[in-house]
């Protein structure tokens, strides 16, 4: 989601280079001396030591320290009626394990042991995204796959956006993985400018720098973070080249997604993901006319929804922060400053993907999936097909 405005910011940053500050006294934009360890011998130790690190390095947004920690810490959900299988979930660029709070609750209700990880550079402050490499992100995912395997008969991997890139590459190299759950897979960015992020990082520190007010995710993005994301793109595209994958795949995307090129993963789903039980959920208006696809319309004036967004797949309408009546409204949505201020002041808003403009409407980001329950039922069918 945080890459939505990358194309515009990339061009603007080069033009305004002399005005960009490479240092900022705001602690949100400063950099920690190191990244947290993720290679503990058990998951509880990983949670404990990550919590200690966040307490020492996180810039808290509210007085509710425990609430913020719980949103950003890796977590484990243990089912009351276990089915013997497990799922490891990996969040996206700039996000946190909170991204999977609703999906994880659903999975544990179905009997799965569920764990999430915190990608290095996340959960503390936006400046820490200047520290990780692709190997750091690959390392935490690979290590925790290894920790979870002995606790499950079958292990599924799930990922959102950048996390989808990471888990897909793992599954393509590990035949023991049972299948994939992919949400807004960022196999290819919508903007071709992202491929220059590594070069740009030597010239411009920030791809996007906004006030850090959201306790569940970053609002800002260092250019280095965009560059590491693009490293995962190159890796997953290389891994996908000339292969077919016969394990079950659940994929969900929004037609209105302004962050990723949706055509690329659709082609992968159609031509390379060949399991007969696969399912693609498409939130949009155009029929894809390919097998194993379910489309839900996002023209929902009854809900003030104009179209779907990159992040609006993961959260239930009942989510306390991002749901239909959620506390967090993302007014920074690519519209004019006046419209953004009107949104922040409580004017009646409509919900859309980033960058959508519609005459006479004040827009905010769509942050939930009105078809969340139906989507989870489709996910269940994919996962149960191998039981």
What are the 10-residue block averages of pLDDT along the chain, 387 residues in total? 48 39 74 97 98 98 97 98 98 98 98 98 98 98 98 97 98 98 97 91 92 96 97 98 96 96 97 97 95 97 96 97 96 88 92 92 96 98 86
Q: What is the pLDDT of residue 360?
A: 87
> Would 59 be classed as within a structural domain?
yes
> Would 57 be classed as within a structural domain?
yes
Q: How many CB atoms lie within 10 A of CB 243?
A: 10
**What CATH code is carried by the domain that includes residue 192?**
3.40.50.1820
> Would 303 be classed as within a structural domain?
no
> Would 363 be classed as within a structural domain?
no
Q: What is the pLDDT of residue 24?
A: 46
Q: Which of 33, 26, 66 is nearest to 218 (CA)?
A: 26
Give the phi and the psi of residue 318 in degrees, each rounded to 5: -95, 0
Q: What is the pLDDT of residue 359?
A: 87
Calculated CA dihedral for residues 76, 82, 87, 90, nearest 10 degrees: -20
Q: What is the pLDDT of residue 385?
A: 86
> Would 328 be classed as within a structural domain?
no
> Would 336 be classed as within a structural domain?
no
Q: What is the pLDDT of residue 13?
A: 44
Range of the domain at 92: 6-298+371-384
Q: What is the pLDDT of residue 91?
A: 98
Query: Is the CB of residue 6 less than 8 Å from the CB of residue 227?
Result: no
How many independent structural domains does the chain possess? Answer: 1
> Would 341 be classed as within a structural domain?
no
The span from the CA of 171 to the CA of 180, in Å, is 8
> Would 37 be classed as within a structural domain?
yes
């Amino acid at each position: 989601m945080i890459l939505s405005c990358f194309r515009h910011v990339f061009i603007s940053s080069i033009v305004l280079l002399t005005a960009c500050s490479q240092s900022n006294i705001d602690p949100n934009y400063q950099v920690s001396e190191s990244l947290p360890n993720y290679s503990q011998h058990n998951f509880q130790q990983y949670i404990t030591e990550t919590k200690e690190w966040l307490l020492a390095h996180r810039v808290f947004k509210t007085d509710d320290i425990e609430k913020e920690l719980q949103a950003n810490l890796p977590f484990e959900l243990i089912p009351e009626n276990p089915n013997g299988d497990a799922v490891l979930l990996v969040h996206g660029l700039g996000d946190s394990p909170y991204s999977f709070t609703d999906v994880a609750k659903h999975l544990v209700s179905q009997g799965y042991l569920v764990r999430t990880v915190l990608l290095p550079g996340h959960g503390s402050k936006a400046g820490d995204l200047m520290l990780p490499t692709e190997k750091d992100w690959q390392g935490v995912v690979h290590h925790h796959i290894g920790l979870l395997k002995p606790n499950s008969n079958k292990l599924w991997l799930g990922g959102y956006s950048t996390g989808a890139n990471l888990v897909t590459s793992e599954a393509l190299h590990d035949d023991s993985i049972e299948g994939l759950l992919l949400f807004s897979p960022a196999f290819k960015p919508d903007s071709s400018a992202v491929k220059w992020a590594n070069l740009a990082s030597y010239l411009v520190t920030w791809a996007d720098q906004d006030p850090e007010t959201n306790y569940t995710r970053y609002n800002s993005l260092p250019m280095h973070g965009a560059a590491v994301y693009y490293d995962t793109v190159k890796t997953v595209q290389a891994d996908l080249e000339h292969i077919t994958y016969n394990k079950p795949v659940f994929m969900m995307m929004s037609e209105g997604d302004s962050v990723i090129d949706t055509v690329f993963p659709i082609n992968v789903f159609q031509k390379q993901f060949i399991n007969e039980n696969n399912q693609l959920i498409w939130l949009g208006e155009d029929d894809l006319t390919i097998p194993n696809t379910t489309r839900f319309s996002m023209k929902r004036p009854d809900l003030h929804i104009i179209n779907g967004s990159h992040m609006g797949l993961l959260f239930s309408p009942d989510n306390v922060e991002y749901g239909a009546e959620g506390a967090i409204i993302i007014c920074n949505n690519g519209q004019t400053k006046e419209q953004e201020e009107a949104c922040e002041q409580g004017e009646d808003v409509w919900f859309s993907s980033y960058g959508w403009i519609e005459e006479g409407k004040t827009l905010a980001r769509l942050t939930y999936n009105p078809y969340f329950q139906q989507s989870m039922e489709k996910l269940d069918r994919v996962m149960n097909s191998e039981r």
